[in-house]
Amino acid sequence: MEGMSFEEALRQLEDILAMLESGELELEQSLRLFQSGMELSVYCQQMLKQAEGRIQQLTQKPDGEILLLEIDVKESE
Amino acid sequence: MQEFITVSELNNYIGGLLEGDLFLSNFWLKGELSGFKLYQQSGHMYFNLKDTDSLISCVMFKSRARGLAFKPEDGMEVLLRGTVSVFARQGKYQVYAEEMLPFGAGGLYLQLEKTKAKLQALGYFDPEHKQPLPRMVNRLGIVTSQDGAALRDILKVVRQRHALIDVVLVHSSVQGLEAPQELARGIELLNQQDSVDLIIVGRGGGSLEDLMAFNSEEVVRAIYQSHIPIISAVGHEVDYTLADLAADIRAATPTHAAQIAVPDVEGILNALAIYQQRMQRAIEKKLGYNSERLDRIMMRKIWSQPGIMIESRQKQVEVLEKGLRLAMSSGMQVRGQRLALAVTALDKLSPLKVLSRGYAIASKDGTVIHSSEQVEPGDQIDVTLYEGRLKVRVESKEGNPWKA
């Protein structure tokens, strides 16, 4: 699951949910999917909490060097 | 010896005459651009204006050129406002342009329509090319002016929603001659870095002239080529900019763009919680169905003496089978069918059938164990298998794995 995008994880979770709710699977398969589904939902929750709310500025200097710096933008009225 | 003056003095004298002339200090001039040159280092523009019979050289300094709403090209008919003065170093008089516009009724609109037709033909506005927006944005890229209202409006929405997202700004001018290149470069830079999930490109409202950068080929191409989805957010009075047509989603204002882009984290967390509940319900239903089947068998207490029960069931089945054969052979079709149904039903109920699929019955002191709470580590329990029974000692226990 490591490196999976949020979109992909959420899509898989929704697929699993649909399969589980169809009720057409063998018990063993249901349990396996349930396990993966729970792991995916925890993964999604973690991803939501990953960003830190930073504001950064990306600039490229004339010599091609790329800088990413934290900036402070004043609240507007 | 004759009286004489120096070259400098003559040029200065002529310059003084020209500069003293009221008409030459402010006039509008129409002509066709030729020999246009933009000096990258200084940012000044040098060109000639001509008509069929005549030509005059012109210069537009960087400070004035910055406000241009279009990209001058040779052959273009323009109208410029300026003054005439002498460039003493070359003994040359020239027009110093203050402002310049494409000539003709709606010159800008004409130019816009021309660019639009060209880019449309290239497929830059094709709906099939549009990318879906991600539902979750962890890092948001913004290409706009660091001093503009657009940036502040977007950040305001981010703060209002208490969304913990990272914002990556690439500063760019949003009007003037350099704006198209800078905006396009900003989009390309974010694509190169590939660290943001979505890009907002925009600025606050303005006149058509102010917004011309968003109608430029450079910006439209950069939007088209971006592999990161883009929301255009140009606050404007006119119907559209070409950037809007090329973007994956067009927002009417930067605030609106932010509302689309910034995830409603609370909402997504709620949705995830509901997904978890629904999965639990689905699995409980599945388990419930199976354990009910098992319970029905348990009620008969066969787990304590499975051998006897199984034997007696087998005997019943044998008897029924005999009867079935008899019924079938004696042509008693109806009775035969009913018997066949009964045999199938019994067979389904048979604990052997359930156990043969790998299920086992755990019991302690004759009581079936439903929950890990019924036992303690160290307890000895019985496990009845399809074939044989086990005496097992509990090593450790865990709660219900489904109730995280």
DSSP letter string, B14-28: HHHHHHH-TGGGSEE
Query: Which comes out higher in pLDDT, residue A5 or B174?
Result: B174
Domain-ending residue, one of B263, B288, B307? B263
- B305 by DSSP, 3-state: which? coil
* pLDDT grade for A77, boundaries at 50, 70 and 90: very low
Number of structural domains (chain B) is 3
Task: Answer yes or no: do B141 and B258 share one domain.
Answer: yes
* Min Cα separation B381/chain A (Å): 24
Residue B211 falls within a domain, yes or no? yes
Q: Which residues of A touch B134 (CB under 8 A)?
A: 6-7
> Is the CB of residue B210 less than 8 Å from the CB of residue B202?
no
Which range is most confident: A68-72, B83-87, B221-225?
B221-225
Q: Which residue of B has its CA nearest to A12?
A: B275
Which of B205, B233, B263 is the C-terminal boundary of a domain?
B263
**B60 and B145 part of one domain:** no
Please determine, for residue B297, whether its predicted confidence score (pLDDT) is greater than 80: no
Could you give the CA distance from residue A15 to residue B114 in angstroms, rounded to a whole number?
A: 47
Residues B99 and B192 in one domain: no
ipTM summary value: 0.75
Q: Which of A7, A53, A54 sits opposite B134 (nearest CB)?
A: A7
Work out the minimum CA distance from B193 to partner chain A, whole angstroms: 9
CATH of the domain at B154: 3.40.50.2300
Please name the residue of chain A whose CA is at the shortest distance from the CA of residue B149. Answer: A76
B363 burial (CB, 10 Å; 0-12 / 13-18 / 19+) is middle
Residues B259 and B209 in one domain: yes
Answer whether residue B209 is part of any domain: yes
Contact in structure between B151 and A72 (CB atoms under 8 Å) = no
The neighbouring-strand residues paired with B61 are none
Q: CA separation (Å) from B358 to A54, B292, B402?
A: 54, 17, 21
Distance from C-alpha of B117 to C-alpha of B67, rounded to nearest angstrom: 26
Candidates A54, A57, A52; CA nearest to A67 is: A57
Residues of chain B neighbouring A23 (CB-CB closer than 8 A): 282, 285-286
In this structure, is residue A1 part of a structural domain? no
What is the distance between the alpha carbons of residues B329 and B43, in angstroms, rounded to a whole number? 107
CA distance B362 to B371: 10
In-domain check, residue A45: yes
What is the residue whose two structure tokens read 């990258």?
B40
pTM, whole model, 2 decimals?
0.56
* Least confident interval from A64-73, B33-42, B328-337: B328-337
Say if residues A45 and B269 touch (Cβ distance below 8 Å): yes
CB-based contact, A64 to chain B, within 8 Å: no
User: Quick check: is B131 in a domain?
Assistant: no
The answer to whether residues A10 and B135 touch, using CB atoms and an 8 Å cutoff, is yes
Q: Say yes or no: B96 and B171 in one domain.
A: no
Do B204 and B257 belong together in one domain? Answer: yes
> Could you tell me if residue B341 is inside a domain?
no
Our count of domains for chain A comes to: 1
**Residue B257 is part of which domain span?**
136-263
Instruction: Determine the average pLDDT of the residues in B318-322.
Output: 72
Report pLDDT digits (tens) over B356-390.
Answer: 777 888 888 878 888 888 888 888 898 888 888 88
Do the domain assignments include residue B291? no
Is B298 within the bounds of a domain?
no
| Structural domain boundaries enclosing A57 | 6-76
Tokens matching residue B319: 């008897």
Which of B240, B283, B304 lies closest to B400, judged by CA?
B283
* β-pair type (B55-60, B45-50): antiparallel
Confidence bin at A53 (pLDDT 50/70/90):
confident
Q: List pLDDT tens digits, range B85-122.
A: 998 888 899 999 998 988 865 567 777 888 888 999 99
The predicted model gives B19-32 an average pLDDT of 90
Q: How far apart are CA B346 and CA B277, in angstroms?
A: 36
Query: B272 — contact with chain A (CB < 8 Å)?
Result: yes
Chain A residues with CB-CB distance to B163 below 8 A: 53
In a domain, A40, yes or no: yes
In a domain, B324, yes or no: no
Looking only at the bridges linking them, the beta strands covering B380-384 and B361-364 are antiparallel
Q: What is the CATH number of the domain that holds B93?
A: 2.40.50.140
